[in-house]
Amino acid sequence: MNIKGIAKNHSLLAKIFEWIGICIISTFCSILLWQMIFGSNDITSLKWLQLLQSISLFLIPSIFCAFLWSDQPADFLCITKAPSWKDICFAIGIIIVGLPAINMLSNLNQQLVLPDFLKDLEIYIKEMETSAEALTEQFVKADNIGQLTINILLMALTPALCEEFCFRGTMQNVLNEKSKNKNINVWVVAFIFSFIHFQFYGFLPRLLLGAFLGYLLVWTKSIWVPIIAHFTNNACSVIAYYIVSKKSSINIDDIDSLGSGDTLWVGILSCFCIGLGIYFYLHTKKSAE
């Protein structure tokens, strides 16, 4: 049975329910598989759970829905166009240069205080984020290059690939079919991307990261560019934790605070460089066309 495009004329609401249904079934199967094979709470088992969840929640539904919603699923997901080296270097460069800006925005985000009547919620959110940070530190812990490589594959490559297929490849493109305002679609998907991570005190930098990844797809028409940018962002964090664990003279807090506090000027300079880099990239791209 050929399922290509059988649901392409469905309404946006129908496609949302189709997406949710596929996600529920796929995620349920992945959890069942994990329980059958592992079923424990040690770090190795939890790493496998994260891998299975990323694939079942983001990648599988994206590919399946692309077949349902388009006669050309590969074109729908924007996987057929190979990115140029210029696009790749631009994406990686902006991510690396933008790390102090992300730290600055993260520090600003953490200064936000909820109203008094939401005090209990604020305490709960902080406790959840503290627990998440502790678990992340356990996940990225590596004693050698082999373990670091596994962490890069698990914590950097897998989420970059799966999440970009989901948010930019599928979600943003299906919105583009319903609305021609690509700017709104980019920001709507970026909001969902940031919100679904359920980390309130990292919402703002992740929102802007999501918007940049969305615009990369708009500018390049290739899903591989935001995947590479997303991977670079994740890999920088994983590698930074590894370096800090090996160098007792380096504190991870010093790295995370670069761009805020006494080094606020670095964060501001980073923002300026991002703006300048995007301007020249778009200018040269327009001239080439």
pLDDT of residue 252: 64
Same domain, 91 and 38: no
* 267 three-class SS: helix
Per-residue pLDDT tens for 208-235?
Answer: 999 999 999 999 999 999 999 999 999 9
Both 57 and 181 in one domain: the answer is no
How many whole angstroms separate alpha carbon 255 and alpha carbon 100?
A: 9
**What does the pLDDT read at residue 253?**
64
Tens of pLDDT, residues 68-87: 999 999 999 999 999 999 99
**Structural domain boundaries enclosing 258:** 77-288
End position of a domain, from candidates 26, 41, 74: 74
* Banded pLDDT at 37 (limits 50, 70, 90): confident
Task: Give the model confidence (pLDDT) of 233-267 as tens digits.
Answer: 999 989 988 888 777 666 666 677 777 777 888 88
The pLDDT score that the predictor gives to residue 229 is 97
To the nearest whole number, what is the mean pLDDT of the chain? 88
Residue 194 is predicted with a pLDDT of 92
Alpha-carbon 83 to chain mean position = 19
For residues 283-289, give the mean pLDDT.
Answer: 80
Over residues 201-211, the pLDDT tens digits come to 788 999 999 99
For tokens 């980019």, what's the residue?
186
Judge if 11 and 120 occupy the same domain: no
Q: Are residues 156 and 198 in the same domain?
A: yes
Q: Are residues 216 and 107 in the same domain?
A: yes
Q: Which of 6-20, 99-113, 195-209: highest mean pLDDT?
A: 6-20
Question: How far, in Å, are 121, 140, 225, 265 from residue 280 at the CA level?
Answer: 44, 36, 18, 22
Domain boundary among 74, 109, 131: 74
The number of domains in the chain is 2
Same domain? For 276 and 142 the reply is yes
Together in a domain, 50 and 27: yes
Secondary structure (DSSP) of 17-37:
HHHHHHHHHHHHHHHHHHHHH
pLDDT tens-digit series, residues 133-173: 777 777 778 888 888 999 999 999 999 999 999 999 999 99
pLDDT the model gives residue 109: 85
Q: How confident is the model at residue 289 (pLDDT cuts 50, 70, 90)?
A: low
Query: Same domain, yes or no, for 224 and 101?
Result: yes
Pair (44, 83) in one structural domain:
no
Residue 40 sits in the same domain as residue 150? no
Higher-pLDDT residue of 184, 41 = 184
